[in-house]
Amino acid sequence: MFSFLNIFRIVALLEGVSYLLLLFIATPIKYISGNPEYVKLLGMPHGVLFMLYVVLAFLLMKDMKWNTKTLFIVLIASVIPFGTFYIEKKYLKPVVND
């Protein structure tokens, strides 16, 4: 079953990968070879994934019992390379229902 947590995990993974591709592949190609096509190709999907990441983080805040500081860390991680992968390991542990 799809839960907000599972959807957030998928979006976080895709957002992180798209950010790395944009930052370390597309941007250097743009400035070294003068070809902006890869930035155009990756920019829009990354932007949509980033917005989904932020919205889903706010929606998950209550379910994951995140305080404001934790939410801030989760949001800041989306603009740091490899940050979303850190969030997966540190903050996205499944909630255990007793």
Contacts of 91 (CB under 8 A, 6+ apart): 64, 66, 70, 73, 74
> Structural domain boundaries of the chain?
4-91
One pLDDT digit (tens) per residue for the chain, 98 residues: 678 889 999 999 999 999 999 999 999 999 999 999 999 999 999 999 999 999 999 999 998 899 999 999 999 999 999 999 999 888 887 555 54
